[in-house]
Chains A and B, each alone.
Chain A
Amino acid sequence: MDSVQTRPAFRVVGRSIPHRDFEEKVRGEMAYADDARMPGMLHGKIVRSAVPCATILSIDTIEAHALPGVRAILTADDVPYNTISEAVTGLGMDQITMPVLAGSRVRYQGEPVAIVAADTPQIAARAAELVLVDYDDVPGVFDPSEALDPGAPAVHPDGNVLVAWSIREGDAAAALAAAPVVVEGTYRSQHVDHAYLEPEGGMAWIDGDGVLTLRVSTQVIEHAREVARIVGLPQSKVRVIGSYMGGGFGGKEDMTLEPYLALLVLHTRRPVKMIWSRQESLLARPKRHPFTMTYRTGATLEGQIVAQHIQIVGDAGAYPLLSPRVLFAAAVTAVGPYRVPNVDVSSRAVLTNNVPTSAFRGFGAMQVTLGYESQMDRLAEAVGLSPQEVRRLNHLREGDLLPTGETLPTYPALDEVTRAALEAMGPGPETDDPRHRVGRGFATNMQPYGRTVFFADHASAWVGYEPDGSVTVRAGVTDLGGGQTASLAQIAAEVLGAEPDRVSVHIADTALTPLAGGTFATRQLYMSGNAVLQTATELRDAVTPVAAELLGAASDDPLVFADGAVVVEGTDRRVTLAELAHACEDAGVDPARLSTFRPPRGEFDPRTGRGKTFPDYTYGTHAVDVDVDLDTGRVRILRYVACHDVGRAISPQRVEGQIQGGVVQGIGYALSEEIVIEEGNNQSSLFADYLIPTSADVPDIETIVLEIAEGKGPFGARGIGEAPVGPTAAAVANAIAAAAGIRLTQLPFTPERVLEALRSAGERGE
């Protein structure tokens, strides 16, 4: 056998196989969070703060209680441990906690104040309206830059800077002072809603042995532990089952309705269902962080970057949630996929009385793409190079150091993804309409996959042959709809030789599936994919001697696990997986394994800003042609090509789907989506006012899936969940600049903003 195997052949991995869950979905049979009910079930409703910043003087529930069919009304005093206290940074910087129900003080509009359980959703909603909360408004702060003023109202007692990260390398100030070319820009992003089509929902009940059981649409079943602490139960008495989600995108990463369901169930001793309306989801669920990003980029006359000075301020809203980590990811990736010898990045999360912000696909690393990729185009213009040339000159290369002092983990295929995307675009756009301008832009990004390595992340999986030779996998992953479960089935089938449709993957149940750590941070293919690969490989190794004996094979005869059987390679000697499973029982070999995948840990020192951060990155380039209507300011996407190096596509069709979906979310972010908040009051709590792209707003998204550089996932895969949402806004900004000569820096690029920029450019005589 050849000792060098560059591209091993796979039977199952790399094929686009429809999985059971997708068949259930096209049949309409998938049971989501709202699709189950129980006898005697009550309906829960949250009473939310009508005002953004106030003291609660009193809560009067008398009238609401009097409504027939109302079974419980709970307020802060009824919560055994009224604190949501997950340690968020992992670096010991967490002081501010969040109440389950606001007690004496509300800090954002929509904050939960009381909860109601009633016989019907209508009665619960009516009762919630009848709960009279007497608010005494106190001055709030709604703009992060104002929140930084010394005299600003304090959102929490310890000041409004929630966290400040700093990453420094070399001497950025000196290098900028000496640099012959300096380009500057300030870029602003907006509050964005996840807008998954399934609003938050779930049902809970008390099951056998007094176990409080919640079946919810969540990305993280491990919140069971947090729920236990809040309601005062042992953690062994709380079970969370994650239903297949109708989308998540990070919005179901923090708890949603778990503590409220738990409290109502324990109080009423009856099953309770709670489904949030679209309007309360838009009003009160955490959003994507608005960032203000100020970049100063220094370079040589030839276009070589010598320094980046970057200041990032993110609006955390009224409570920390995951803001410290989001701003951390922003800091680490702020210079983009480029070599920069002198770096000074500061990244702060600032508290305000706006709706809290937290995880959202891209997680801080996506917002900064508008910063560094707009800067690259500005630099290209300043030094007289093409945007592609200036990037190629500065691209990270294999083995380079990042500003944190760590070595780039794997090969960054930056030249390759950029060339592929631009070549696919072909000749540039043209128009003969004098009132339109067309142009092309592109942007490249690096998006981490996997949690920061100081979290000591791990994921477990149970894999076993059934007596009939089919394969069962148990894994605590939750399924967002991105094929999380399906890819695990493919990996198990690949290793264990089962037909893919003979593999069942049981997921997302803290009572029954080994914990996998939640579906976020583009970590599940990396973590649970590796866990299933590792466990299945251990299992195959354990049963191989049994198979060899059945087959009368010599110890060095190569055995192949494929097509429901084990064969001696190159012969017709064959034993079915069912026969193998039986033989294992007879031989006393357990045909099942449980094992845990633990990637290498690393340390990071927040004082020096140096150490190990993310396990690895996924690289991509998106290119776009736009049309700018000079009369209306409308920007239309004419063509779009997105290229990513995924290392290995486990299921190519789903990789394409992730890219296409990410891009269209990115187009919404770039052009139309914004939760408008005025003095803390949400102006966009109707879906009619929150404009996610329709099919008529976007062209076909052409994808190029490259398998160039081996990543750290199973079979060399890189994560693709978050990466494709990153480059879009910057690519569109660069295309608008190329088309109309205007550099837009404030998202979204609405017709009003485009017209304003055109007017300003006209007045400047450009």
Chain B
Amino acid sequence: MTEKQRMAFELNGTPAEVWAFPFQTLLDVLRVEAGATEVKYGCGEGVCGTCTVLLDGESVNACLLLAPQAAGRRITTVRGLGTEGELHPLQAAFLEHGGSQCGFCTPGMLLAAVEFVASADAPGRDEIRDAISGNLCRCTGYTKIIDAIEGYIASRTGGGPHSG
């Protein structure tokens, strides 16, 4: 068996260093070696999007990457959203609109949504629908997730309490 290697990356704004086998997936290393249990295993096939993280701001399925592919890069998980005890406004919108039930898809879903709203200006509901279609949810039927994302965008463009 090969030996563990040192691997450094940035996790939610903080430098992280772990020892991992080169054949370990990024999902496995984040969960087991880096303690980022908020990244969830859903299928290991890249189908469900449950393990979504942002790699240099782009959403990826952590189960499809080998850990060394993330070396030296910036990884954001759901715990990297928001600040000092404050929810990111998108998290607050999920809470307000009931966008989470069992909550297992929520970390990945939020990251897919964060990536989308960063580039979307005033999307319609169908654009939101397409944007999160790589992230499966078995509980909500998606309507309230879309409500939450739409609500966040409306408050942002309307300069409401969630702006900025």
Binding site for B on A (CB under 8 A): 16, 18, 21-32, 34-35, 194-199, 244-249, 275, 277-279, 480-483, 653-654, 656-657, 659-665, 686-688, 692, 694-698, 700-701
Query: Is A35 within 8 A of B37, CB to CB?
Result: yes
7 contacts between A and B (CB under 8 A): A26-B94, A197-B137, A482-B139, A657-B98, A661-B139, A665-B141, A694-B133
Is B153 on the interface with A (CB-CB < 8 A)?
no
10 A-B pairs closest in CB distance:
A481-B102, A25-B103, A246-B104, A28-B38, A660-B141, A28-B78, A664-B141, A696-B133, A278-B43, A687-B43
Q: Are B95 and A246 in contact (CB under 8 A)?
A: no
The interface bits of chain B over 29-65 (1 if a CB of A lies within 8 angstroms of the residue's CB, else 0) are 0010000011011111101101000000000000000
Can you list, as one digit per residue, whether each of B62-105 has a CB less than 8 Å from chain A (1) or not (0)? 00000000000000011100100001000110111111111111
| B136 CB–A CB distance under 8 Å | yes
Which of A16, A277, A696 is in CB contact (< 8 Å) with B98?
A16
| CB atoms of B103 and A246 under 8 A apart | yes
Contacts of A23 in B (CB 8 A): 87, 95
Option from A34, A196, A660 in Cβ contact (under 8 Å) with B37: A34
Q: Chain B residues near A21 (CB, 8 Å)? A: 103
Known: A197-B42, A245-B102, A656-B144. A26 touches B138 (CB 8 A): no
**B102 and A277 within 8 A (CB):** no
B125: Cβ under 8 A from any A Cβ: yes
Q: Knowing that A198-B40, A657-B141 touch, tell me 4 more A-B residue pairs with CB under 8 angstroms.
A: A28-B106, A198-B102, A661-B141, A664-B141
Q: Are B140 and A698 in contact (CB under 8 A)?
A: no
Contact B100 A26 (CB under 8 A): yes
Q: Tell whether B110 is near chain A: CB-to-CB under 8 Å.
A: yes
Cβ of B129 and Cβ of A696 under 8 Å apart? yes
Contact B138 A197 (CB under 8 A): yes
Most chain A CB within 10 A, of B45, B103, B128, B146, is at B103
Rounded to whole Å, the gap between the CB of B9 and the closest CB of chain A is 18
**B139–A657 touching, CB < 8 Å:** yes
Interface residues on B, range: 35 or more
Residues on A with C-beta less than 8 A from B106 are 25-26, 28
Q: How far does the Cβ of B7 sit from chain A's closest Cβ, in whole Å?
A: 17
B138 & A199 in contact (Cβ 8 Å cutoff):
no
Chain B contacts of A687 at CB under 8 A?
42-43, 45, 47-48
Contacts of B97 in A (CB 8 A): 653
In the complex the two chains form, is A247's CB within 8 Å of B132's CB?
no
CB distance from A111 to the nearest CB of B (A): 22
CB neighbours (8 Å) of A663 from chain B are: 141
Closest B residue to A686 by CB, please name it: B45
B130 in the interface, Cβ–Cβ < 8 Å?
yes
Residue in chain B with minimal CB distance to A666: B141
CB distance from B78 to the nearest CB of A (A): 4
Check if A244 sits within 8 Å of B103, measured CB to CB: yes
Contact B101 A481 (CB under 8 A): yes
Smallest beta-carbon distance B98→chain A, Å: 4
Q: Is B114 interfacial (CB 8 A cutoff)?
A: no
A688 touches B47 (CB 8 A): yes
- Residues of chain B contacted by A198 (CB below 8 angstroms): 40, 42, 102, 104
Which residues of the other chain, B, contact A34 by a CB distance below 8 angstroms? 31, 37, 40-41
A279 surroundings in chain B (CB, below 8 A) = 44
B45 touches A246 (CB 8 A): no
Contact with A along B128-164 (1 / 0, CB 8 A): 1110111111111111111000000000000000000
The closest CB in chain A to the CB of B93 belongs to A26
Closest chain A CB from B27 CB (angstroms): 11
Least distance between B4 CB and chain A CB atoms (Å): 12
* CB-defined contacts of A695 to chain B, threshold 8 Å: 128-130, 132-133, 135, 137, 142, 145-146
A26 with B102: in contact, given A275-B41, A688-B45 (CB under 8 Å)?
A: no
Q: Once the chains bind, are A656 and B138 in contact (CB under 8 Å)?
A: no
Given known pairs A196-B138, A197-B138, A278-B45, the reply for A22 and B37 (CB within 8 Å) is no
Which of chain B's residues have a CB closer than 8 A to the CB of A35? Answer: 37
Q: In the assembled complex, which residues on chain A have CB atoms less than 8 Å from the CB atom of B110? A: 26, 28
- On whether the beta carbons of A654 and B98 are closer than 8 Å, the reply is yes
Q: How far is the CA of A663 from the CA of B130 in the complex (A)?
A: 19
| Complex contacts, A28 vs chain B, CB 8 Å | 38, 77-79, 106-107, 110
Q: Closest A residue to B90 by CB, please name it.
A: A26
Question: Min CB distance, A362 to chain B, in Å?
Answer: 15
Q: Pick the contact of A694: B37, B43, B136 (CB < 8 A).
A: B136
